[in-house]
Chain A
Amino acid sequence: MIEQEHLIDLQHISKDYDGVTVLDDINLYIRKKEFVTLLGPSGCGKTTTLRIIAGFETPSSGKLLFEGKDILDIPPYKRRVNTVFQKYALFPHLNVFDNIAFGLKLKKMPKDEIKRRVQSMLELVNLTGYEKRHVDALSGGQQQRIAIARSLVNEPEVLLLDEPLGALDLKLRKEMQLELKSMQQRLGITFLYVTHDQEEALTMSDTIVVMRDGHILQIGDPKHIYDEPANAFVADFIGESNIFRGTMVRDELVAFAGREFPCVDFGFGENVPVDVVVRPEDITVVGEDVGQLVGTIRSVLFKGVHYEMIIDCGEFTFKVHSTSMQPQGSRVGLSIVPFNIHIMRPMDTPKREAAEHAV
């Protein structure tokens, strides 16, 4: 029954370019009305995955199912997906109206129907009255919104977005993130979003797919990915982290940074090497006498909402976020609650189950 909910199914998709593997056995499904983000550093294969779904690339092997049917042989212009391109790719020889109406005109829709739909799209993206403008005369943010309108007006089953906010400044990007999310919820369209910005992914997505080197490292909702990263790479890529090499002494006891800490993880075995991840905000600064570790504050940075302190505990260095500040050079104690210590297998033995859609 769950299978039927899948709108898009990528099965064992691989892609080589002249012998270089860009995608290696990708398995992923996307549900109807889901906001899925492919997240990873550049060169991880996220854009290639998107282009395969759009039809601009053909995988070397694997299947691409759309509502259960293989669509690999269907050319891009017949697929019920639309793409918002990285640099918008607006048609420079057409004005705003004709850009948005491009897809509708191809469908031979009646003129007043086209006009009505373009109008309502312009309303949706807050650009009413811009019909006659030349696209080159618009700002980056406006061009972005026209590109989104041009795709959405065709009422695609899936909207593919390839780093659509990359060229915008920070403030505009944040605004557009919220706008896109609310648009997606209002229209009930499935979004597949590609970005390298972890904050963007966390803000907007229902499901995040973390990729690296053509592999999927982890799939899950933002909170799951943030709180339970599958490995040190994910932990480091999503948010800031203190990552240490450690040893799982036994169940619920881990040794790192020169001492043993109680934790909540089990099932790793005894005396097994592990990666230990602690988020900076999960470390509490306490009195020198009550901390699990004692250290000296090397530097303090004001970051707006919190202070970021770099604390040296012998040879180990911790990054700590706290709303209260301790002066530089002072001796403090550090304390970590067992629940906030995340244990993961080292990267060189990747979890096989990480590639499954874990919900």
Chain B
Amino acid sequence: MRYNVSLPWWAYAVMGLGLAVFIALVGLSIRRNHGIKRSLFSAPYTMWMILFTILPCILIAYYAFTDTAGNFTLDNFRTFWDSNSEMKKLVGEEYAASIPRGTVNVDTLVYSLWMAFLCTVISLLLGYPAALFMADRQMKLGASIVVLFVIPMWMNFLLRTIAWMSLLEDNGLINMMLKAMGFKSVRLMYNSGAVLLGMVYNYLPFMVFPIYTSLSKQNPSLHEAAADLGCSPMRTLTKVTMPLSLPGVISGITMVFMPSVTTFFIPRVLGGGNTMMFGDLIESKFLTEGNWNGGSALSLIMMLLILISLSILRKADPNGEGSGIV
């Protein structure tokens, strides 16, 4: 599907100005030092950022606040709040009152947040003990477990998800085994549980590794000091090890929650048409409806939500050790 990208003159002006400022800065830094300044080495990355991060953000914001003709409007956000608002406009004010508010967009967002929350909690509950086990210096097995966690990550994310499908589907491996044992087949896919399973499976390593890192760099003499002062191994865990691993937990939460909330594809493969997450909604706005303005508005709302949740997380970790990602 083709979409006519027509930008107003000032959008080109902003881009041009940004580029001009960048070139001027580079030029200045060379002249002032009679040589190449170290910051010049960041130029390729800065250029990349401007082209592929900052400009797209500006574009998204531009589309979100305009209609197809390029005029300023808040309609896209109105549509997010009430998916029937377009219809209401068409039928006129007389009948509009009889049409209820369309909640599908908001509901999808709430559902996505809830699923992301569940995925994060489950990953934490599974991942923390795993990280603890891996970081235990007395366990010679720890290193090999690390490898076991890494190996699935060598495989493509889509393949991993599709692999789950062949396990869970009605004629999949699990159901075939059930049938062979004389049980009735069970519907394992096309529900929230299967989606959650797929999400946890894909995002668990992102929880385990930051926690593992923060656990394995803990000074062992702190654990000895706790024992020395009267902590049983369990108390050492709750009073010293866990509080000290908080930065790792926070970056783990960040790294799982962020992709979870924006997840798409997993719900489509494992959830069939029965579950839709906000990522899918955005995708369908852009690709199926061809509604760049509506999709941009949804993206903007998503970005805002992520920003808010990150700043809350940052409050929980005032030392900022885990703020590498935040």
Contacts and interface: CB of A to CB of B under 8 A. Distances in A.
A76 B221 contact: no
A103 B230 contact: yes
A92 B241 CA distance: 11
B225 A106 contact: no
B94 interface: no
Interface stretch (A81-89, A121-129, A234-242): A81-89
Contacts of A150: 229
A102 B229 CA distance: 7
Interface string A91-103: 1110000000011
Contacts, number: 62
A107 B225 contact: no
Contact of B229 (A75, A93, A154): A154
Contacts of B229: 77, 82, 102-103, 106, 150-151, 154
A87 B221 contact: yes
A77 B227 contact: yes
Contacts of A56: 224, 227
Contact of B230 (A85, A91, A92, A107): A107
A76 B239 CA distance: 16
Given A91-B240, A93-B244, A83 B222 contact: no
Contact of B227 (A76, A90, A91, A151): A76
Interface in B194-244: 219, 221-222, 224-232, 235, 239-240, 243-244
A102 B224 CA distance: 13
A92 B224 contact: no
Given A89-B219, A93-B244, A154 B225 contact: no
A54 interface: yes
Contacts of A78: 230
Nearest to A147: B225
Contacts of B227: 55-56, 75-77
Contact of B225 (A81, A91, A93): A91
Contacts of B225: 83, 85, 89-91
B230 A106 contact: yes
Contacts of A106: 229-231, 235
A280 B130 CA distance: 62
Nearest to A136: B319
A211 B222 CA distance: 27
Contacts of A76: 224, 227-228
A89 B221 contact: yes
A132 to B, nearest CB: 15
Interface in A157-207: none
- Which A-B residue pairs are the 4 nearest by beta carbons? A103-B229, A89-B225, A89-B221, A106-B230
8 contacts: A54-B228, A56-B224, A75-B227, A89-B221, A92-B222, A93-B246, A102-B226, A103-B229
